Amino acid sequence: MKRSLLLPILLFSLFSCESSSEDSAQDEASNTHLVEFKIGNIYEDLPELKAASSFSSADSTLNQFGFLYYLVFDATGKFLHQIKQTKGDASFGLVSDQLKIGEYTAVLVSCTNEILISPNLTLLNSTKLRSTSNTGDIFYKKVSFNVTADGFSQPVLLERIIGCVEMRITDRIADNVAKIEFAIENEMQFFNVNTNQVETTTIEFRSTSAELTSSNRNTFKLNLLILNDQVPLIATVKLFDSSNGVIKAKKITGIQNVRRKKTILLGKMSDFLSGGFSVGYDDAWSPDSTIINF
């Protein structure tokens, strides 16, 4: 009689243990765990830019940027959610999330001013950033990571995805010149966060200008931050008189913008009547250099 009762008790205990193990595994799979990304100092210094904030080389990302975006996608590339931080946030630069155990891809973007992100976020491979003339400097990183029961934490160093095209006039500018305009054709608006590439489907025109004063008439420069590193650029420099009439204009073609580098167009007043500007890359952004004359 005792033996006949013992077997059912043992079987019941066995199934109870298996059920408890399965429930525990299911609970663990449904739990979320802490995920943290700490944004470190930027990869390169910002240039001194007209009509944009400039910062010392000692500053960190937290001081130099106004916005930080975090987008997260699951293992299939499906968009899950995003976090947007602004410079005034107490946690600016430290992204905290809660995710289940599994594989994910995070996209982190930091910029001087706001950047536009695909309005209907669905999949990683179709997610784009849209740069405008007001966006300023842009840094980016795509990170693949695995969340375990211990969570996930990682410092991240963002990398610049734009270049800077700067025009310099190296001799004294004539007194009849009241304003100079610097414009770039063939700028691109869209950047695919999955491929880390500029999309060449939309072409845009960017420009900036400055009045001539006693402080800049002897050494003059203007620059623009440019996203397009695929299609050669066309630059136009225009000199205006005090009535806003064009005194002289010069076009420089075949300029290749390089990511993380400053392309410099060097010219003199006499170059507006004869030869061309020289073009090069400034070491202040990246160790390699190139120069172009106009």
pLDDT tens for residues 9-29?
444 454 455 555 455 445 455
Burial class (CB in 10 A: 0-12, 13-18, 19+), 95: buried
Question: Average pLDDT, stretch 37-58?
Answer: 48
pTM assigned to the model: 0.79
Q: Is the pLDDT of residue 64 over 90?
A: no
Q: Is the pLDDT of residue 104 over 60?
A: yes
Structural domains of the chain sorted by starting position, each given as residue range(s) with its CATH number in brackets:
32-160 (2.60.40.2100), 163-293 (2.60.40)
Q: Report the C-alpha gap between 73 and 147 in whole angstroms.
A: 13
Tokens of residue 163, six digits: 């270049």
pLDDT tens for residues 124-158?
999 999 999 889 989 999 999 999 999 999 988 88
Q: Is the pLDDT of residue 204 over 60?
A: yes
pLDDT tens for residues 243-254?
999 999 999 999
- Between 274 and 107, name the one with better pLDDT: 107
Q: Report the C-alpha gap between 172 and 186 in whole angstroms.
A: 30
Closest CA to 222 of 236, 211, 242, 208: 208
